[in-house]
Amino acid sequence: MNLTMNNKSRPGIMLLLYLLTFSNLCKLNAQNKAYNPGENYSVSESRIIEFSGIEWIVKSGYSGPGPNNFSDSEESVRVDEKGGLHLKIRKINGMWHCAEVYSTQFTNYGEHRFLIEGDIEQFDRNVVLGLFIYGDDNHEVDIEFSRWGNVAHREMGSFTVQPYTIKGNTERFQVNSDSVRTTHLFNWQREYIDFSSFRGYYIGFEPPSDFLIHKWKYTGESNPAGSDSLRIHINFWLFSANSPVNENDIEIIITQFIRTFDTGVDEKKQQPEEFRLNQNFPNPFNSGTRIGYELPESANVELVIYNCLGEKIRTLVRDTQPADYYTVKWDGQNDRQTGAANGLYFYSLRVNQKIIQTKKMILLK
């Protein structure tokens, strides 16, 4: 069934123009030419794990930061019998591979607390540990530990609200932890972000000042909004892809992650502010991807996938739904339940017979 365009419908015309703009990409895929997704994407099938009651996608492929190779193998990323998350930088077939996980769902205002086991102060000069939430390069809140390639770099801890290039958006500090167990957190609020690092493990209370490593309150203008679609990330990587100095594998353990939402800011209870279609995740993808959308009020909803010729190949949603946040998985199948071909696809959210938004995604097998 072909996508029907109404000449009097501006959204329909916009969709047609959007499809035609990328028709050359479709031709390239049809000719089996390689598509380079860029360093910020993974092209491997996603592995999903559960840690601290949250589902996480394990990053795989060649991408930033670094850029580095990232491995999603059990040897690189695993959850032990006690529930601790192990991330390992290790050499595979002569090449160094790093580790990263990120939440399948968006996060929101509230406290994000990470309990770490590992001697951060003794990190190899090329190793970086990142504990952060990320929407894009301008909507990000970071806790990072690294010497950034310089063994003499003393202030290896940093609290940052991106973009870091803005004066006052980064606070650097010496770690001096004297402990293999540390707690790091940021309390993300609408008007400020409170950062803290402590020696030892602490949940639900702040320890005496003797255990404080550093704290900082951010009140600048780069504080992201709760509606900015940020996910939780934990990564363990190599600065500028430089190998560890001693050429040994390196492991860090995140013993626990605790996320405490503010009252009324729970991600399923806070009502969306507008109709919104989110970028699918991951993208590009192999065997499956998730598409999120938001409804501020009850509406008739249709979520449809088109190929790059404008042909409808799959209807994921056709229903009346109440106000809420929704996530739908596409398994790469068409309406006939046969596998879709590699290439460029579009997905469109229609609410009450009106096209709200259309986005593109790439299937690579």
Contact 340, 363 (CB under 8 A): yes
Q: Which residues of the chain have pLDDT under 70?
A: 1-45, 262-270
pLDDT of residue 262: 60
Query: Which one of 1.20.58.220, 1.20.1250.20, 2.60.40.4070, 3.40.50.1370 gives the CATH number of domain 10-34+271-363?
Result: 2.60.40.4070
Query: Rounded to the nearest 10 degrees, what angle do helices 23-30 and 10-21 cross at?
Result: 40
Query: Which one of 3.40.30.10, 3.40.50.1820, 2.60.120.200, 2.40.400.10 gives the CATH number of domain 48-261?
Result: 2.60.120.200
Report field, pTM of the whole predicted structure over 0.75 = no
Looking at the chain, the domain(s) classified CATH 2.60.120.200 span 48-261
C-alpha span between 260 and 233 (Å, rounded): 16
Q: Residue 220: what residue type? A: G
Q: Residue 20: what residue type? A: L
Looking at the chain, the domain(s) classified CATH 2.60.40.4070 span 10-34+271-363
Q: Give 244-282 pLDDT, tens digit per residue.
A: 999 999 999 999 999 987 644 444 445 778 898 988 877
Closest listed residue to residue 272, CA positions, set 258, 290, 289, 292: 292
C-alpha span between 284 and 36 (Å, rounded): 10
pLDDT of residue 278: 85
pLDDT of residue 215: 97
The first and second tokens of residue 212, run together, are 């404080």
Q: Residue 143: what residue type? A: I
